[in-house]
Structure 1
Amino acid sequence: MTAKKKPKVYITRKLPDAVETRMRELFDAELNIDDAPRSVPELIAAVKSADVLVPTVTDRIDAALIEQAGPQMKLIASFSNGTDHIDVEAAARKGITVTNTPNVLTEDTADMTMALILAVPRRLGEGARVLTDKPGEWAGWSPTWMLGRRIHGKRIGIVGMGRIGTAVARRAKAFGLSIHYHNRKRVNPAVEDELEATYWESLDQMLARVDIVSVNCPSTPATFHLISARRLALLQPTAYLVNTARGDVVDEAALIKCLREGRIAGAGLDVFENEPAVNPKLIKLANEGKVVLLPHMSSATIEGRIDMGDKVIINIRTFIDGHRPPNRVLPGR
Structure 2
Amino acid sequence: MEGEKPWALISVVGEQGYPEKVTDIIKEHFQIISYKDFCKNPALHGPKIQAMMVWYNIPEAKPSLLSLLPSLKVVANGGVGIDHLDVPYITSLGVKVSNTPGVVSDATADMGMALLLASARMIVEGQQAATDPNTTENPHWIMGVEVTGSTLGIIGMGHIGYKIAQRGKGFDMKILYHNRNRRKVEDEQAVGASFCQNMDDLLKASDFVMLAVSLTSETNGLISRRELSLMKPTATLVNISRGLVIDQDALVEALRSGTIRAAALDVTHPEPLPRDHPLLGLSNVLITPHIGTNTFPTTRKMVQMMVDNAVAAVKGQPVPNEVKPN
Give the TM-score taking structure 2 as reference length: 0.91
User: Kindly tell me: are residues 44 and 210 of structure 1, through their superposed partners in 2, closer, same or farther at Cα, counting changes over 3 Å?
Assistant: farther
| Alpha-carbon separation, structure 1, partners of 2:74 and 2:66 | 14
Cα displacement (A) at 1:141: 5.8
Give 1:108's aligned residue: 107
Alpha-carbon distance, 1:12 to partner: 1.1
Give 3-state SS (helix, strand or coil) of 2:138's partner: coil
Q: Which moved more, 1:55-64 or 1:182-191?
A: 55-64
Kindly provide the CA deviation profile for residues 225-247 of structure 1, in whole angstroms up to 9, marking residues without a partner as x.
11111111111111110001111
In 2, Cα distance between the equivalents of 1:160 and 1:272?
18
Q: Report deviation, 1:31.
A: 3.9
Per-residue CA deviations over 1:161-217 (Å, capped at 9, x if unaligned) read 001000001111110110000000001110111122110111112111111100001
The 10-residue stretch of structure 1 (74-83 or 52-61) with the greater mean CA deviation from structure 2: 52-61
Number of the residue aligned with 2:306: 312
After TM superposition, the score normalised by the length of structure 1 is 0.89
1:19–1:89 Cα change, 3 Å: same
1:261 aligned partner? 257
Q: Deviations over 1:241-296 (max 9, x none)?
A: 000111111111111110011110001011001112256311111xx2x1111111
Q: Which residue of 1 aligns with 2:81?
A: 82
Percent identical pairs in the alignment equals 33
- Deviations along 1:5-56, whole A, 9 cap, x unmatched? 3211111132233431232232221147xxxxx6996797665652111112
| Maintained 8 Å contact 1:48/1:68 | no
C-alpha distance in 2 between matches for 1:50 and 1:68: 12
Match of residue 331 from structure 1: 325
Q: Which amino acid letter does the alignment assign opposite residue 280 of structure 2? A: I
Aligned runs of 1:168-247 on 2, under 5 Å? 168-247=164-243
One-letter code of the match for 2:93?
K
Q: Is 2:28 aligned against 1:17?
A: no
Distance 1:26 1:39, change over 3 A: closer
Aligned partner of 1:35 in structure 2 is: none
Aligned residues: CA RMSD: 2.4
Contact 1:158–1:214 under 8 Å retained in 2? yes
Q: CA separation in 2, counterparts of 1:69 and 1:220? A: 28
- Structure 2, gaps ≥5 residues long: none
Divergent runs of 4+, >4 A? 38-49
Counterpart residue identity of residue 326, structure 1: P
**Greater mean alpha carbon deviation, residues 74-83 or residues 238-247:** 74-83
Go from structure 1 to structure 2 and tell me whether the alpha carbon gap of 1:22 and 1:119 turns closer, same or farther (over 3 Å shift). closer
Which whole-Å CA distance do the structure 2 matches of 1:44 and 1:94 have between them?
19
User: 2:293 is matched with which residue?
Assistant: 299
The aligned counterpart of 2:157 is 161
Give the secondary-structure state (helix, strand or coil) at the position aligned to 1:166.
helix
